[in-house]
Amino acid sequence: MFSHRVVVIGASAGGIQPLQALAAGLPADFPAAICIVLHIPAYAPSHLPEILGRAGPLPVSQPAHREQIMPGRIYCAPPDHHLLIEDGRFSVTKGPKENRVRPAIDTLFRSAGYSEGPNVIGVVLSGLLDDGTSGLWTVKRWGGTTVVQDPEDAEYDSMPKSALTQVDIDHTVRAQELAALLKRLTADPVKKFGGIDEDDAERQRVGIEVSIASSARAFRKGVMQFGKVTPQTCPECGGVLVQIKEGNFTRYRCHTGHAYTGDTLLVSVTQAIEDKLWRTMRALEEASMLLDNTGKEFEEAGNTRLAEMYARKARELEDRTRLIFQKIVENESLSTESLELDVSSGERNR
């Protein structure tokens, strides 16, 4: 157990500005550690530590694997690595992607809630879709404090709205108010973690999920016992998906370890369909070009009958290609941005 509080923060699109406002508003003697996951490209350097270091007085870094977590510091997840909290230290791992990303917000939040219980403050900021909802649910379930950015204040409100819909939220604040709230919350004494009974099936499941994010081997760790096996397969690896229930929230994990919320799974399946359509269109165009070229060769050789037959087949394939292209255009209406669902309206039945 920590002798101090830990604040875990998740952000995606539109998250830089509220993180800068937070860093600028915190004092140099802030008594908690702040751990941040911001969705960033896997193979690009992250400049978040420099950005936040210039914004405020606290030192900012990307932690090393097994580095001890210290109060009064800001830690940012490195690109293409999950950031986990285990026994007062960081685990920086390349476990299976969650919600199509690594680092993922849910993996950090879940590990913090599981490890540190009521001493955790979980914060979800601006972002698309719903990464952070499951992790924040774990933080709350293990006695921690839950905070979301006011959706009306967020540049992209999907992540805050999803958390508000699925999790019992303690505080909803604007970005400029977050530093003051965290100063007030971390001033409270460190709480004793009574935790959840070690025999509790839910605790065992969350512990295994933290372990999967750390070292994979999901099948051998018992992922198939998490819930009902579904007819869906993992868009990333083709593995069998198991349905996991957390309160009223449903998500999925495959037997190799990849995890998805319902919304992210829908986006992934939609993208897979689009990819297949593009490959089909490419094959049709290649066949059409081959038929057309062969028909021209027959025409040059004076074989009018075969030349006309090949030209006709080339036109038929071109017509099929146009139909495939139309399907791709229609499919793009289900892109990630169009799936910024208004979860508070209840239009989707989870």
Active-site positions read: 12, 39, 131
Q: How far apart are CA 337 and CA 94, in angstroms?
A: 27
Tell me the C-alpha to C-alpha distance, in Å, between residue 107 and each of 285, 303, 326: 43, 66, 38
Q: How far apart are CA 76 and CA 279, in angstroms?
A: 38
**Do the strands 74-76 and 33-38 form a parallel or antiparallel pair, or are they unpaired?**
parallel
Q: How far apart are CA 210 and CA 107, in angstroms?
A: 7
* Residue the block writes with tokens 């037959």: 309
251: β partners: 244, 261
Contacts of residue 213, Cβ cutoff 8 Å, sequence gap at least 6: 82, 84, 93, 95, 96, 98, 104, 107, 110, 111, 257
Task: Kindly give the residue spans of alpha helices, DSSP state H, lying in 171-303.
Answer: 178-186, 201-215, 218-221, 262-300
Contacts of residue 30, Cβ cutoff 8 Å, sequence gap at least 6: 58, 71, 72, 182, 183, 186
Give the pair of three-digit tokens for residue 142: 């293990």
6: β partners: 33, 120
